[in-house]
Structure 1
Amino acid sequence: MFYQFYEMSHAALQPARAYADAVKLFYSNPLNPFSHLPFGRSVAAAAELFERTTRRYGKPAFGLTKTALDFHTSVDVTEKIVWSRPFCQLIHFKRDLPAARRADPKLLIVAPMSGHYATLLRGTVEAMLPHAEVYITDWTDARMVPLTEGRFDLDDYIDYVIDMLHTLGPDTHVMGVCQPSVPVLAAAAIMEERGDRFAPASMTLMGGPIDTRRNPTAVNKLAEEKGIDWFRDNAIMQVPWPEPGFMREVYPGFLQLSGFMSMNLDRHITAHKEFFVHLVKDDGDGADKHRDFYDEYLAVMDLTAEFYLQTVDTVFVKHLLPKGEMKHRGALVDCSAIRKTALLTIEGENDDISGLGQTQAAHDLCNNIPAEKKAHYMQPKVGHYGVFNGSRFRSEIVPRIVDFIASNRQRETTAPSKPRLVRSRKAS
């Protein structure tokens, strides 16, 4: 009933939101003399703050229409869906490239299915567009998928990744950001064990929970202390009517958002106070930055119950992958089967979601990858979000990813060039 109560509360506040929106428009209208005074701007700011903190945020758009190929050339970018299933579609950011340009590598970015939409990686896509043909997994909000479409669990997630790699063909490089690191690693192991020629040429795992026993964070400790039964009893709810996914059991996005907000509640409260001050001072740039960030951060999606519970149990409670006990469709996932796929792991020094060493653990599991095809990098002075977005990501992490991919492309030559190891003062 909690999900239903949440929906009813949201509906009950609709008249108040409409009134707040009207007040904001009245006191911010330049024809109203109060709009030029601190009093009028304060009323308008309070009205906007109320409306924004009580609304439901829809799925954002990527909005990437151009990319720079070099310092002098800018080309158009269009989104194209190249693969689709009930719980996911694959988006290709197709660039209008010159005919004579050498083909860039194909990069499959596997976005987290952890409560936020794939647009959370807008900055990641934007940074990689000048260097690769970028594809990204656009996961579907479970509340929008009818029960008739069936279940979706961690095994299905891995199957989706494998199917996408088959669709994209050879010389495809895959990037798993946070939560997808485990299924991406499992998919690569399964494909190599099968001798699949479409196994990725390289995989980049960023801030992922490969082994949460290493430097466990508050999130990791909560999962281990509570156990899977607690999550089943307290985190799983049914989608209310009249949503398309009515009666589907899900882990609601608003619960995940509540957890993220509570971890840094003081920071979010301060941010909203500063937003109010920016509005009163008529500081448009500061207010716009706040809007842009929270329009993305507060837009959340539901996860299917079976996927959520299986992921929590496999990754955070039982640590099956690092123990060598993880199974896919009843068969063990053997990471030592990976021999050809190159491996790059990236971590953030101040990551409070995936602790230091958790992603690097992939190197211990993939012990048959040649040393020259493996690299690890720890980015100083960034948290979880900074591993895949922000200025340090663009200036210090992206060049390493681009170099690693270029060093491990599958070329149809008899004498491929020797891969180069990504090096840094923090590399190992």
Structure 2
Amino acid sequence: MYYQFYEMSHAMMAPWRAVADQMRLAIQNPLNPLAHTYFGRTFAAGLEVLERSTRRYAKPEFGLPETVVDGETVSVHERIVWKRPFCNLIHFERVVPAGHRKDPKILIVAPMSGHYATLLRGTVETLLPSADVYITDWIDARMVPLSEGSFDLDDYIDYVIEMLHHLGPNTHVIGVCQPAVPVLAAVAVMEANEDPLSPLSMTLMGGPIDTRVNPTGVNQLAEERPLEWFRDNVIMPVPWPQPGFMRLVYPGFLQLSGFMSMNLDRHLIAHKEFFAHLVKNDGDAAEKHRDFYDEYLAVMDMTAEFYLQTVDTVFKKHSLPKGEMMHRGRAIDTGAIRKVALLTVEGENDDISGVGQTHAAHTICTGIPEHMRMHYMQPDVGHYGVFNGSRFRKEIAPRIVAFMNAQSRAEPPVRRVIKGGKSSPGV
């Protein structure tokens, strides 16, 4: 009933949100004398905070119409090139100059963890000048009718394999956060099958490969609660009249509330500062707040079977690092990976996937030659900074592209970066 109550509260607030928005527009009209007074700006700021705090945020757009390639601005066209009930594969097709070198072809596997793939907009934008980029656009489970069947961790792995097959040879794959486990599993399955379309490299960024290493609050919660607790307390049927009516899901708003509660004081301060910026008529600072929270507060539901299987396999049983993870009744052998290069990236202050959890991939991928491995730990960034922000643009992304280019050209051994630009022949 909790999901129904959530929907009902949104419906009940809709008229009040509309009134608040109309009043704000009336007060801010340049012809209204109140618009030029402190009282008017304060009243309008309060109305905007009220409206934004109670609205449902729609799925954002990527909004990347162009990029710069070889110093020339080129157009970018967003195209869906592969479709399944729970995911679309988007290609950011660049109109590159004639004679342009062949850039690495990258499949970015976005997290299915409550937010839309647009959370990686900055990741895509940074890689576009030097790569041919594709990204998984996961579908909100509440929008998928029950007739389309279920979607679990096995299906996720199958989707990754199918997308790599669709993209063909010489593809590089990146798993950001949650997808690190299914991406590694998918590559292991392909390598065990001697699949000729296995990727050239896989890059795992801030992912929970082994949550026994340096566990965070998120990991500890999953360990402390029995699986039945999650099934009884966070799994709910999609309410009418959504297309996925009666599908069992882990609602996005619950995931969001969990993330926000971890840094509640920071979010409260951000909204207080937003109010102050509006009163001071500081448009740039207010717009930055809007842009961030338009993305952060837009959430999607996950299927119950995928969520529960992930909690059990990744966070409770630690099946992958123990060598006990299964796919379609067959054991996943990470030691079978021999031809796919491995790059792992972590953030020093990551409070979601602790330092060492992603690096653990090197321990279990015993078949990868030493010269095809690299690990990089970025100082002074948290989880979000691993794949977005200034340090990602300046320090992490160039290393990812260089690593992929090295594999594409089959260059001599790649030295493995340890921290802050220092390199060493060992991890």
Structure 1 CA distance for aligned equivalents of residues 73 and 98 of structure 2 = 15
Identical columns (%): 70
Question: What secondary structure does 2:60 align onto?
Answer: coil
| Alpha-carbon offset, residue 368 of structure 1 | 1.1
Counterpart of 2:111 in structure 1 is 112
Counterpart in the other structure of 2:98? 99
2:5 matches 1:8: no
The CA deviation string for residues 186-221 of structure 1, in whole angstroms up to 9 with x for no partner, is: 000000000001111000000000000000000000
Across the aligned residues of Structure 1 and Structure 2, the Cα RMSD in angstroms comes to 0.9
- The separation in 2 between residues aligned to 1:334 and 1:379, in whole angstroms, is 29
Q: Which residue of 2 aligns with 1:222?
A: 221
Q: 2:415 aligns with which of 415, 421, 426?
A: 421
Give 1:69's aligned residue. 69
C-alpha distance in structure 1 between counterparts of 2:177 and 2:266, whole Å: 22
Secondary structure in structure 1 of the residue aligned to 2:103: coil
Contact 1:107 1:135 in 2 (8 A): yes
Q: Deviations over 1:139-188 (max 9, x none)?
A: 00000000000000000000000000000000000000000000000000
d(CA) in 1 for partners of 2:132, 2:404? 12
**Shift of the alpha carbon at 1:81?**
0.6
Deviates more, 1:19-28 or 1:147-156: 19-28
Counterpart check, 1:45 vs 2:45: yes
Q: Deviations over 1:276-328 (max 9, x none)?
A: 00000000000000000000000000000000000000000110001110000
| 3-state SS of 1:340 partner | coil
Contact 2:374 2:414 survives alignment (8 Å): no
User: Partner letter of residue 128 of structure 2?
Assistant: L
Distance 1:170 1:85 in 2: 21
Report 1:355-370 matches (<5 A). 355-370=354-369
Residue 299 of structure 2 corresponds to residue 300 of structure 1: yes
What letter is aligned with 1:32?
N
2:134 corresponds in structure 1 to: 135
Cα-to-partner distance string for 1:316-371 (whole Å, 9 max, x where unaligned): 01100011100000101110000000000000000000000000000000011000
**Partner AA of 1:425 in structure 2:** K
- Structure 2 Cα separation of the partners of residues 25 and 422 of structure 1: 55
User: Offset at 1:382?
Assistant: 0.2
Query: What secondary structure, in the 3-state scheme, does the structure 2 residue paired with 1:382 have?
Result: coil
CA distance in 1, matches of 2:130, 2:22: 46
The 1:69/1:363 distance shift into structure 2, 3 A limit, reads same
Shift of 1:426: 7.1
Other-structure match for 1:262: 261
Aligned-partner SS, 2:212: coil
Counting only pairs closer than 5 Å after superposition, residues 282-361 of structure 1 correspond to structure 2 as 282-361=281-360
Q: Residue 80 of structure 1 corresponds to which residue in structure 2?
A: 79
Q: Structure 2 CA distance, aligned partners of 1:192 and 1:94?
A: 29
CA distance in 2, matches of 1:378, 1:36: 50
Whole-Å separation in 1 of the counterparts to 2:112 and 2:415: 30
Gaps of 5+ in 1: none
Residue number in structure 2 paired with 1:245:
244
| Cα separation, 2, equivalents of 1:425 and 1:100 | 35
- SS across alignment from 2:130: coil
Could you tell me which amino acid in structure 2 is paired with residue 392 of structure 1? Answer: R
**Using the alignment, how far apart are the partners of 2:423 and 2:219 within structure 1?**
25
Residue 421 of structure 1, CA deviation = 2.4
Secondary structure of 2:129 counterpart: coil
TM-score, normalised by the number of residues in structure 2: 0.98
Mapped to 1, the partners of 2:232 and 2:29 lie a distance apart of 50
Structure 2: which 5+ runs fail to align? none
Q: Give the whole-Å Cα distance in 1 for the aligned partners of 2:260 and 2:413.
A: 42
Is the 8 Å Cα contact of residues 403 and 422 (structure 1) preserved in structure 2? no
Query: How far did 1:422 drift?
Result: 4.0
Aligned equivalents of 1:170 and 1:36: distance in 2?
A: 61
CA displacement at 1:9 relative to structure 2: 0.4
| Alpha-carbon offset, residue 227 of structure 1 | 1.9
